Amino acid sequence: MNSKVPFSERDRTDKPASLYAATKKAGEEIAHTYNHIHELTITGLRFFKVYGPWGRPDMAYLFFTKDILKGKSIPIFKGPNHGTVARDFTYIDDIVKGCLGSLDPAEKNTGSGGKKKGPT
């Protein structure tokens, strides 16, 4: 199990720590195999904490926003070794732009700012 914080997209993922993580890894392996058999370029997209109009009412950002507007404090959790923990939220319009950008193999990897390794 990889417990390194912060993590990188280059970190090993061969020992998922949860069933959810295992399904993501299985999906990657299926895509890799399909690519190998059929010689098709495949791009996987993962969305993390998407917010915007018609968003889920049980998302943390809604609770945080409501509490902040009421003058209440929001909980701050400590990470490993009592370090600070940050969480990203992505606006739906940015998700749409990322999906459209993923169709162009020359577009940037939105996760790291680096170039994707797709066909030229």
- So which residues are the catalytic ones? 20
- For 17, 21, 33, the CA distances from 26, given in Å and listed in that order, are 13, 9, 11
Enter the tokens of residue 61: 């950002």
Could you tell me which of 52, 60, 43 has the C-alpha nearest to residue 94?
Answer: 52
Residue found by looking up tokens 């940015």 in the block: 94
